[in-house]
Amino acid sequence: MSAELLNMLPFPLLLIDNDDRFVWLNPAAESFFQSSTAYLAGRALTEMLPADSPFFALLHRVRQAGRPVVEKAMGLVSPKLGVRTGAIQMVPILAAGQPEAQAQILVSIQEQSMAEQLSTQNQFKGAALSMAKMTALLAHEIKNPLAGIKGAAQLLELDLPAEYRELSGMIVDETDRITSLLSRIETLSSDTPVKFTDVNIHEVLDHCIRITKASFGRHLTVIRRYDPSLPDVRADRELLVQCFLNLFKNAAEATKAGDELTLSTSYSMTRYVSSLSDGRRVHLPFQIEIEDTGDGIPDELADHIFEPFISTKSGGSGLGLAMVASVIADHGGAISHLPRRRGTCFSINLPVMSRTSSGRKTEAET
């Protein structure tokens, strides 16, 4: 393909040498990296991306395999680029008689915009809400007999010999577990009103960390990287607490003693995206990143983690992240999973909202 045609392609295309240095970029790539080919040619990729970026791990895989590799969704995060997500394709280019170790890599980037993330997230929310509507009546009907079963087991326990009380206790515990599961499904229902108030996001995060450190996350080392100038956000505090506790619990279950949980907050007045549905520009200035150094999310599940009943844990309900996505969507925001070489990172972006901008009913509307 001629250089003229490559330059006309609407997506970033760049050539990397065997020392991980820029060789050439098309105009779309120059725009992506906010620098010209004349400036970048010969410069190390580490000037644009941190050395621990998964981009370098993918380069290494291509060189080892000697064949093209595609990553469906890779997060590129750096102070210069911000947070960018896209499908990355890398193809080794080997000149005649050249050893494989010196192959250059042709990289194409099909960027997923925040607007696409919002659209995808709304689809996840729709699936979660559809599931909730189908189960709402059923859940109510199941809870009633469950309460009777639990009560009967507790009464029987009073007259049972000691060797059988463990079995009656098991009945009580299991009915409680099923009731809790049904309650979690019901929280996805769109009929639950959202109570918007001015919320200090740092106070909410600190509150959730205190709960985490006192219970399921005692083993975690918590690192706070807060922007102290962050203003209040208009949100439902209790829903945000439920949202963050789900994310922290997931992090705790995927980590071990000595692992870290890092909370970062930032605010950018220039963070706007265009909605795919109507072209409306959405202001998402608040950003919260929750990153752990645990086991991470398997590649085969990364594209489906916000869907109901998709879980990375054995025996997990798969409702936690679906609930989180639903809550963030109700606040007009977006949540995305940012791939990391180690661990898991979730990025949440929230808007400056009016009192009636939520997808759910507000307290005043009920």
pLDDT, residue 366, reads 39
| pLDDT band with cut points at 50, 70 and 90 for residue 322 | confident
Contact assessment for residue 36 and residue 30, using Cβ atoms and an 8 Å cutoff: yes
Say if residue 189's pLDDT is above 60. no
DSSP for residue 240 = H
Say if residue 321's pLDDT is above 90. no
| pLDDT band with cut points at 50, 70 and 90 for residue 40 | very high
More confidently predicted of 11 and 361: 11
Q: Tokens at residue 227, please?
A: 């922007």
pLDDT, residue 338, reads 83
Mean pLDDT of 82-92: 82
The CB-side HSE value for 181 (13 A sphere, CA atoms) comes to 16
pLDDT in tens, 285-305: 899 999 999 988 877 676 677
Cα 77 to chain centroid distance, Å, stands at 14
Closest among 324, 358, 172, 183 to 250, alpha carbons compared: 324
Please name each of the domains of the chain with its CATH number: 3-112 (3.30.450.20), 117-186 (no CATH), 197-365 (3.30.565.10)
Cα 80–Cα 108–Cα 346 angle in degrees, nearest 5: 50
pLDDT, residue 247, reads 95
Give the H/E segment covering residue 292. strand 286-292
> Which range, of 113-117, 258-262, 316-320, averages the lowest pLDDT?
113-117
pLDDT, residue 358, reads 45
Mean pLDDT of 248-258: 93
> Which range, of 101-110, 113-122, 192-201, 267-276, averages the lowest pLDDT?
113-122
pLDDT, residue 362, reads 45
Q: Tokens at residue 92, please?
A: 């080794």
pLDDT in tens, 260-270: 999 999 998 77
pLDDT in tens, 229-245: 999 999 999 889 889 99
| pLDDT band with cut points at 50, 70 and 90 for residue 356 | very low
Instruction: Measure the CA–CA gap between 182 and 139, rounded to whole angstroms.
Output: 6
pTM: 0.53
Contact assessment for residue 199 and residue 240, using Cβ atoms and an 8 Å cutoff: yes
| pLDDT band with cut points at 50, 70 and 90 for residue 165 | confident
Say if residue 115's pLDDT is above 60. no
Contact assessment for residue 56 and residue 49, using Cβ atoms and an 8 Å cutoff: yes
Closest among 323, 327, 318 to 297, alpha carbons compared: 318
